[in-house]
A and B are shown apart, each in its own frame.
Chain A
Amino acid sequence: MKKLFQSDWGSRLIEGLLPVFATLAALLLGAVMLLFLKVNPVEAYKALWEGAFGSTNAFAETLVKATPLLLVALGICISFRGDVINIGGEGQMIVGALLGTWVGLTFTTLPGWLGVSFALLLGFVGGAIWGGIPGFLKAYFRVNEILSTVMMNAIAVQLMNFLLRGPMIDPSQAELASQIPQTARLLEIFRLPRLVPTRLHLGALIAVALAILVYILLWRTTLGYRIRAVGQNPNASRYAGIKVPRYVVLALLLSGAFAGLAGVTQVFGVNYRMITDGSASGFTGSAGFNGIVAALFGQLHPIWSIPASVLFGALLVGANSMQRAVQVPSAFVTALNGLVVVFVVSSEIWRRRRQRRRLAAVMRDEEAPPGDKENIPQAETVA
């Protein structure tokens, strides 16, 4: 056990700061791209800061952006703790939002609070279904969940495009020649109440409350304990009598459910309708991917995911106002966002590999295995 403890503090600190370094590296690369576009990076990044924190309105926008990130991140905390890699947040958000919107447009006679609760519930269910399918395929048929969740994203996009152009299209749009693929607007009574005179809505508070709930779930309940146990060592869990496949399904199902909730709050708190530009990010704003980064930022801890989401929301809002301030193509923001995701996710994978290698080294040195201190992902084949 010597080696493991010797390097503990130093490497803990490095590992904790790794996502920060990764983000800085991405921003640095972004600065190089800005130079190519003949834009002063200092000026650009100053505009980014102002846009995220410069005024009450700016900060409220940051929190509005952070809300879906946090909800997705909570789901990611659950699934990654169970060693299930859920890349399907985008699709789960879409399906959740579709079901929730359907409720909002169909049951118009319900009182406001009941209609919204029902919509949130079905959004939860929709995301759970879309996450549960890859979970089921992984647990019982050993289909790689990374591949299948990515595929489910693409399928969800087409489902959304079909529904918003067909069965769910705004009746007034259906008559017009333009045929904009969007649903009708939600009734005023179904809108999530706003908190201060900004666009900040109740969804933000719901997300924070759920963060506490997820913390309790993961560390204070049997269900959470088993999900984490399966994630850390499926073999030991099996010998301990835990039905491993069941908890693999549950981890992905719950993960999807939170993403579904994120989708509903976007519709009921921000846009009040669903509209598609044909792509997933057109609806989600890539929150399904960015939520993963936010969760990794927060060390896969639900409470730490709150500040992580706010920081990441700030980055997104700030990048948009930077784009307006210094006149760079909007594709730059997409590219910058992609860079941050790539760098942070890679750094996390690198951290896991390092940990695994260190553990393996310790196991080789000592006769007795030290037990699984941290998460060790299992190698697995896709086919």
Chain B
Amino acid sequence: MSSEYLQIDLIISIFASAVRLGTIVLFAALGELIVERSGVLNLSVEGMMLTGALAGFLVGYFSHSLWFGVLAAAFAGMIVSVIFALLAVVFQVDQTVSGLTVNIFAGGLTFFIYRTIFPDVGSQGTPNLVPFSALKIPYLSQIPMLGELLFSHHAMAYLALFMVLVIWFYMYRTKSGLILRTIGENPRAVDMKGVNVTTYRVLAVLFGGVMAGLAGSVITLGSAGVFVADITAGRGWLAIAIVIFGDWKPGRILWASLFFGFIDALQMQVQALGIRLPYQLFLAMPYIMTVIAVFLGRRRSGAPIALGTAYVRE
């Protein structure tokens, strides 16, 4: 009997951490969804997340307030997205190259800033903070199984789930959302109606930056409590893959995020159980999945037609 209970516990805990891990990429994927729906392919999600993770950690560490950290992360993600928006939307440099450029820049910069502020990491031990604790929703978290699965997460996880609804409402129930979706399909038509395509795209990119920054903050403030170089470990790329897997629709993106969260949770469990699979395989998984997603996604219908192309006014 007891071993059966153990197994159920194990399964529940895997699913619970799937939700927790899935919500990290969910933030970034929802942001990227809005960006791509406006016709801009932003490959710098990884860099924005990394910057958000660092800013969130630094501000959280020095102000002793996790929420200040979250705000700082959102702001930092936005700053990085300004650089990307300038390159890709305003100056119309090739979007792929702009994205990669920003990634290289953010990767070098975050490490540089971190080592400048904490020069003796290693000899003095890694600076750390106490991350968000689980916010158990009264009564609901008491429900057997479901309570742990859905109602015992930290506040940011609920926020991510709530954002799915917000994004869905914006995209399909507001005029602005309709304009955004149309820009992704046919920017010229929208331009002729007197809407400024560039402004819309820049704002979409900035929103994507905020969301990616938030995703970064969830990593450092929501679970790790420390910052290390390349702490995002490919999750920014995963977010891009999830948007493709989710066929550019908010609901499906939620499921895709949870699915990847599940894989992530499973690999941690596999490692904990000491099953002999090289862990590097799991570290490479986001990248392998991205290639597969792009490979499979080329036939999907949901891809915005103008995705990846600059809009040049006649």
Give the B-binding residues of A (Cβ under 8 A).
37, 85, 87, 137, 141-144, 146-148, 150-152, 154-155, 157-159, 161-162, 166, 279, 289, 329, 331-332, 334-335, 337-339, 341-342, 345-346, 349-350, 353, 377, 379-383
Contacts and interface: CB of A to CB of B under 8 A. Distances in A.
7 contacts: A37-B116, A331-B116, A335-B109, A335-B111, A339-B108, A346-B87, A382-B294
A351 to B, nearest CB: 11
B112 interface: yes
Name B's interface SS: helix
B162 interface: no
Given A143-B291, A143-B298, A158-B283, A382 B96 contact: yes
B41 interface: yes
Contacts of A382: 41, 96, 294, 307-308
B295 A143 contact: yes
A349 B116 contact: no
Contacts of A289: 104
A146 B308 CA distance: 13
Nearest to B283: A158
Interface of B: 41, 43, 87, 91-94, 96-97, 100-101, 104-105, 107-109, 111-112, 115-116, 119, 230, 234, 237, 244, 278, 280-281, 283-284, 286-288, 290-291, 294-295, 297-298, 300, 303, 307-309
B96 A147 contact: yes
B308 A141 contact: no
Contacts of B104: 289, 338, 341-342
Contacts of A148: 291, 294
Given A381-B308, A383-B244, A155 B298 contact: no
Q: What 5 A-B pairs have minimum CB-CB distances, sorted nearest first?
A: A158-B284, A338-B108, A158-B280, A162-B280, A154-B287
B115 A147 contact: no
Given A381-B303, A382-B307, 19 more contacts: A87-B100, A141-B295, A142-B298, A144-B96, A146-B97, A147-B43, A147-B291, A151-B237, A151-B290, A161-B283, A162-B281, A329-B115, A335-B108, A335-B112, A338-B105, A338-B108, A346-B87, A349-B97, A353-B93
A60 B3 CA distance: 67
Contact of B96 (A137, A146, A162, A332): A146
Name A's interface SS: helix
A342 B105 contact: yes
A334 B92 contact: no
Interface centre among B104, B234, B244, by most chain A C-beta atoms within 10 angstroms, is B104
A159 B97 CA distance: 26
Contacts of A155: 284, 287-288
B103 to A, nearest CB: 9
Contacts of B230: 279
Nearest to B299: A383
B97 A166 contact: no
Interface centre among B230, B237, B284, by most chain A C-beta atoms within 10 angstroms, is B284
A329 B119 contact: yes
Nearest to B244: A383
A341 to B, nearest CB: 6
B223 to A, nearest CB: 21
Interface centre among B93, B108, B303, B308, by most chain A C-beta atoms within 10 angstroms, is B108
A331 B111 CA distance: 7
Contacts of B108: 331, 334-335, 337-339
Given A329-B119, A338-B104, A383 B307 contact: yes
A150 B101 CA distance: 12
Contacts of B112: 329, 331-332, 334-335
A154 B298 contact: no
Contact of B295 (A87, A137, A166, A332): A137
Interface centre among A337, A377, A381, by most chain B C-beta atoms within 10 angstroms, is A381
Contacts of A346: 87, 93, 97, 101
Nearest to B300: A383
A152 B284 CA distance: 9
A166 B94 CA distance: 41
A281 to B, nearest CB: 10
B48 to A, nearest CB: 16
B239 to A, nearest CB: 13
Interface centre among A148, A158, A332, by most chain B C-beta atoms within 10 angstroms, is A158
B234 A154 contact: yes
